[in-house]
């Protein structure tokens, strides 16, 4: 192989960069896939700190396929909360539904 042939497959252009605004559910998921496709990704969030609590995310159907492809299904199963009842409260703490 010639010296020129050694460098034929070396990437000479810089990686394309992406800025994602929002570190909720969609921002990091998009960052995962773009990074996997070779993009240099930065995720920014205006909240000063991570949330101390969360909210249920329904992972069924297509979403289940996605988390399997991402390789995070075991972690999601470990974090699973069996939710049988959900109560909505008003501003004063009274039950709405």
pLDDT tens, position by position, for the chain (97 residues)? Answer: 555 555 565 566 678 999 999 998 899 999 999 999 999 999 999 999 888 777 777 788 898 999 999 999 999 888 877 766 777 888 888 888 7
In the block, residue with structure tokens 């773009």: 34
In angstroms, the CA 27 to CA 59 distance is 17
Contacts of 97 (CB under 8 A, 6+ apart): 87, 88
> What torsion, rounded to 10 degrees, do the Cα atoms 51, 55, 59, 63 define?
-50
Strand partners of residue 95: 89
In a domain, 65, yes or no: yes
pLDDT on residue 3: 56
pLDDT on residue 30: 95
In a domain, 30, yes or no: yes
In a domain, 41, yes or no: yes
In a domain, 88, yes or no: no
In a domain, 2, yes or no: no
In a domain, 3, yes or no: no
In a domain, 91, yes or no: no
In angstroms, the CA 23 to CA 46 distance is 9
Taking the model in full, what pTM does it have?
A: 0.63
In a domain, 96, yes or no: no
Q: DSSP code of 43?
A: E
Whether 25 contacts 57, CB under 8 Å = yes
Our count of domains for the chain comes to 1
In the block, residue with structure tokens 């297509």: 62
Q: State which residues form the domain around 41.
A: 14-47+57-78
């Amino acid at each position: 192989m010639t010296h020129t042939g050694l460098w034929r497959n070396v990437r000479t252009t810089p990686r394309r960069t992406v800025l994602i605004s929002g570190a909720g559910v969609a921002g990091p998921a998009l960052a995962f896939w773009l990074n996997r496709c070779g993009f240099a990704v930065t995720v920014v969030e205006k909240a000063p700190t991570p949330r101390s609590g969360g909210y249920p995310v329904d992972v069924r159907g297509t979403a289940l396929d996605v988390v399997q492809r991402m390789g995070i299904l075991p972690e999601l199963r470990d974090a699973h909360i069996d939710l049988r009842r959900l109560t909505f409260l008003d501003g004063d703490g009274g039950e709405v539904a």
